Amino acid sequence: MTDDPEEGMLSWDESVFRNEHVFEIGYVPETFKHRETQMESLKYALRPAVRGSRPLNVMAQGPPGTGKTTAVQIMFDELTAQTDVEAVRVNCQVNSTRYSVFSRLFEGVFDYEPPSSGISFKKLFSQVTDRLVEDDRVLVVALDDVNYLFYESAASETLYSLLRAHEEQGGAKIGVIVISSDLELDMIEALDGRVQSVFRPEEVYFPKYGEPEIVEILRERVTRGFHDGVLDAPVLDRVAELTADQGGDLRVGIDLLRRAGLKAEMRASHTVETQDVEAAYDTSKYVHLSRRLEGLSDSERALVAVIAEHDGKRAGDIYDAFNDRTDLGYTRYSEIINKLDQLGVIDATYTEIEGRGRSRELTLNYDAEAVLDRL
């Protein structure tokens, strides 16, 4: 045993990380494992675009953190690097209206943002389609987290505009990939009949990863992200076990590795231990919650806060507190409840109240303190 208590400790200019960027959620891995079938299905659907024709539409579904966005991003990177096909991914959690979706498409096609005001949707739409026809280019649009368009009742009109673009502007060739992690949402059934008649997508399903697959995928992140010897196999197995406990969502495991590394650095340690993983898990297990809260408006966040503060009370009681805080009426209040219920942030259930008829009880699906911390 050494007599020097500082031996084996990190110095100020040292880090356990070789490349911390590897542990960011948006990082695209150099090798993409256990999704060969899904990648082949995407390639099959997109192949007509390479020949100058409209690609097949795709509906990609699966639990959170199962590689849907990564698969599409890899395919788009290959497509745009090797062909003249235009490929644009739109984050519908942020862009949840038809206008904002087409604003992102405009930006992708023209390489600059459209004017922030003074331009109608019709003009925005025609400028995008005119440019595609002028350049004789195919556009592939990925609507990532498309379920948010459904929550805002904007999915049908957005898809209708995309799918009927060739009728509005002869020669416009647009294919659509919709990506959703909401397995309870029947997207086809939720669309208008006019959209159902033209939207016949190829279905690509991304099942949740098993624990051995999680270990293999995260091991590569460890190799690329940490210095040699920082994190050994038993610690990685624990990370994989905790990730599997959260539905196999790889984002939990990736975030957990990064936070455990930071915990080790706080201890000035050259190695990540199980104690670092356990300490980091209290934060990483709420990756889903943090992501869902990030996409909410101020009024939606205000209602979540009120529910967290009045957990278990009836909707009418919560409305009074929400109205005091926001001045918004009951119609908007009810709309937000429905959205938060669809998102899985809350559970809104109808119950019979003696003398008052049916009323909804609103219950958080997460720990109230964790919710308030993240708000």
pLDDT, one tens digit for every residue, the chain (375 residues): 344 545 567 776 789 999 999 999 889 998 999 999 999 999 999 999 999 999 999 999 999 999 999 999 999 999 999 999 999 999 999 999 999 999 999 999 999 999 888 899 999 999 999 999 999 999 999 999 999 999 999 999 999 999 999 988 888 999 999 999 999 999 999 999 999 999 999 999 999 999 999 999 999 999 999 999 999 999 999 999 999 999 999 999 999 999 999 999 999 999 999 999 999 999 999 998 998 898 899 999 999 999 999 876 666 788 899 999 999 999 999 899 999 999 999 998 877 655 555 667 888 999 999 999 998
* CATH number, domain containing residue 232: 1.10.8.60
Last residue within a domain, chosen from 285, 318, 338 = 285
- By DSSP bridging, strand 86-91 and strand 138-144 are parallel
Residues 6+ apart with CB under 8 A from 358: 350, 351, 352
Judge if 90 and 134 occupy the same domain.
Answer: yes
Return the sign of the alpha-carbon dihedral for residues 243, 249, 251, 254: positive
Judge if 116 and 168 occupy the same domain.
Answer: yes
3-state secondary structure 67-134: CHHHHHHHHHHHHHHHCCCEEEEEECCCCCCHHHHHHHHHHHHHCCCCCCCCCCHHHHHHHHHHHHHH
pLDDT of residue 6: 57
For the chain, the domain total comes to 3
Name the β-bridge partners of 86.
139
Last residue within a domain, chosen from 285, 314, 341 = 285
- By DSSP bridging, strand 357-364 and strand 346-353 are antiparallel
Judge if 179 and 220 occupy the same domain.
Answer: no
The CA dihedral of 139, 145, 149, 150, to the nearest 10 degrees, is 120
Judge if 84 and 197 occupy the same domain.
Answer: yes
Element (DSSP H or E) covering residue 59: strand 58-61
CB 158 within 8 A of CB 106: no
Judge if 339 and 365 occupy the same domain.
Answer: yes
Last residue within a domain, chosen from 285, 306, 333 = 285
| Predicted TM-score (pTM) above 0.95 | no
Q: Is residue 9 a part of any domain in this protein?
A: no
* CATH number, domain containing residue 307: 1.10.10.10
pLDDT of residue 191: 97
* CATH number, domain containing residue 151: 3.40.50.300
Judge if 305 and 213 occupy the same domain.
Answer: no
Please count the other Cβ atoms lying within 10 Å of the Cβ belonging to residue 117: 5
Judge if 349 and 258 occupy the same domain.
Answer: no
pLDDT of residue 116: 80
Look up residue 359 and give its DSSP letter. Answer: E
In the three-class reduction of DSSP (H, G, I as helix; E, B as strand; rest coil), residue 325 is classed as: helix
Q: Is residue 108 a part of any domain in this protein?
A: yes
Question: What number of CA atoms fall less than 13 Å from residue 275's CA on the CB side?
Answer: 6
Domain of residue 228 covers: 209-285
* Cα–Cα distance for residue pair 340/75, rounded to 1 Å: 32
In the three-class reduction of DSSP (H, G, I as helix; E, B as strand; rest coil), residue 9 is classed as: strand
